[in-house]
Structure 1
Amino acid sequence: MSAAKKAQEETVDAANDMAKKFEEKMKDYSTQASATMKENMEKMSKGMAEFGEFGKENVEAVVASASTFAKGFEDIATEQANYAKSSMEKSVEQMKTISSAKTPQDFMEAQTDYVRSAFEANISQMNKLSDMWIATAKDCSEPLSRRYTAMVEKVQSFRV
């Protein structure tokens, strides 16, 4: 066999070996790429599901907050209507007392009592309404505050 033919065969064998190694490396690369892609798709799918659930919980918190506000507002409106009715009834009674005064001194005392009691009742009612509004605001903000805390924790979990 001639040296040229032998060199040619060695070159062909070397090329075949290189082609086999290249094919094996491509198979390894393809397998790794598929596994990595599958893993990343699973992570993305899980992340999207978590994002959807987080959004759902946010909507539920907003609905709970709005419901709490509506209930609180209803309670405050009922309280104010009851107070207005009671106040009107007391005013009618006081006017009867004032109009039945026999002397100017009785008149002034009845009117002074009426003004004092009306003023005290109004201050008391304002304090009661203020407390009701504060409680309603606190109760309304609680579900939203919990969601904000959850968001902060979620964002902090992404930090490396």
Structure 2
Amino acid sequence: MSNANRNNSNQNSTQQEPDKERVDVATASSTTFPAGFQALATAYGDYTKKSFEDTRSFVEKLSGVKSFEKAIEIQTEYAKTAYETFVTESQKIGALYGDLAKQSYKPFGGFGAGTNSTNR
């Protein structure tokens, strides 16, 4: 084998090692990726359940009111609670989306590091 062929062969084998590492990282990431979706689905489900229960409780309280002032008080309390719950759950879901984005881009972090600029 000529020196040029040996050098080319060595370059191919050294290039395959980082490629294998990237595939291994991507495979590992793909197994944790569905867990992120599961966490999001659970968070949405929990928020929906809490929102439904709060609304049901509000309607029950409102149906037993005897005065206009008490109805306004209950409605104000419900609006405040619903807003606080929305903000809290939105922040939690936003953080889960951020974590999912980080997990999904993690395998691509090393792609630019292994390339050399001599291949023009």
TM over 0.5: yes
1:138 aligns with 2:102: yes
Aligned to 1:69: 33
CA RMSD of aligned residues (A): 2.1
Aligned to 1:129: 93
Query: Distance between the aligned counterparts of 1:68 and 1:53, measured in 2?
Result: 23
1:149 positional shift: 4.6
The equivalent residue for 2:54 is 90
Asked which structure has the greater CA Rg, the reply is 1
* CA distance in 2 between partners of 1:117 and 1:42 (Å): 72
The unaligned stretches of length 5 or more in structure 2 are: none
Identity in percent: 25
Length-normalised TM-score, structure 1: 0.64
Q: Which runs of 4+ in 1 moved over 6 A?
A: none
With normalisation by structure 2, the TM-score equals 0.82
Corresponding residue of 1:150: 113
CA–CA distance in structure 2, aligned partners of residues 62 and 139 of structure 1: 10
User: Cα deviations across residues 102-146 of structure 1 (Å, max 9, x unaligned)?
Assistant: 21111111111111111121121111111111122123322311x
Q: How does 1:18-33 map to 2 (within 5 A)?
A: none
Of Structure 1 and Structure 2, the greater helix share is in 1
